[in-house]
Chain A
Amino acid sequence: AQSVAQPEDQVNVAEGNPLTVKCTYSVSGNPYLFWYVQYPNRGLQFLLKYITGDNLVKGSYGFEAEFNKSQTSFHLKKPSALVSDSALYFCAVRGDLDYKLSFGAGTTVTVRA
């Protein structure tokens, strides 16, 4: 069975500092990895995905993520966080042997001014 772990329930950073949200996964076959963001009372918004190729993936709003196959990780990063980045972030994975998209429990990011 495939699964996603987001080890931190909350991440707090100061505006302008680097932001990292951690994600590790377990999947049979090749992984297809996604990051989504959820603002209050709104649905999930797609940020970026890793399918194949370059391990560093760039996405919306200045976010990027690094795929590490040996560590089965897909950490989300932003070099300089903004207050408006405060939201709930979900990592998700699909495997080519199980098409269901499995989500982590989410990490709440708070960026203080």
Chain B
Amino acid sequence: EAGVAQSPRYKIIEKRQSVAFWCNPISGHATLYWYQQILGQGPKLLIQFQNNGVVDDSQLPKDRFSAERLKGVDSTLKIQPAKLEDSAVYLCASSTRDSLSYEQYFGPGTRLTVT
């Protein structure tokens, strides 16, 4: 089966600009996650969707980050305006359902550099 797709793979922007990332999860996966991975750290959950509803966005900086998952399939994560500290790899993951025992499948990530 096809894996989690993300685009773009790389993005360089100046601070205060806006940027958007796209994710297409594995077909049939109801749960979708966005993570931020800063260099030298493990991934940190930003937001979790169950179908097209938000389950957890407690660690999403809502003053500048937004995400949506229309129709319960593809998802978009947006940053506006970007700050230097937003430089990171943004990972999308999906799983068949939101269960403690289910592993997540990750996309290749989008590497964002804010200058």
Contacts and interface: CB of A to CB of B under 8 A. Distances in A.
Contacts of A103: 42-44
A32 B91 CA distance: 21
Interface SS majority for chain A: strand
Interface residues of B, number: 23
Interface stretch (A64-72, A75-83, A92-100): A92-100
A13 interface: no
Q: Which of A44, A99, A100 has the most chain B CB within a 10 Å cutoff? A: A44
Contact of A43 (B55, B56, B103, B106): B106
Contacts of B98: 99
B51 to A, nearest CB: 16
A64 to B, nearest CB: 16
A45 to B, nearest CB: 7
Q: Which of B100, B104, B105, B107 has the most chain A CB within a 10 Å cutoff? A: B100
Interface string A18-61: 00000000000000101010000111111001010000000000
B41 A44 contact: no
B4 interface: yes
Contacts of A44: 43, 91, 93, 106
Q: Which of A43, A94, A99 has the most chain B CB within a 10 Å cutoff? A: A43
A105 interface: yes
B56 A46 contact: no
Given A32-B100, A43-B4, 13 more contacts: A44-B43, A44-B106, A49-B103, A90-B43, A96-B100, A99-B55, A99-B100, A100-B48, A100-B56, A101-B45, A103-B43, A105-B41, A106-B41
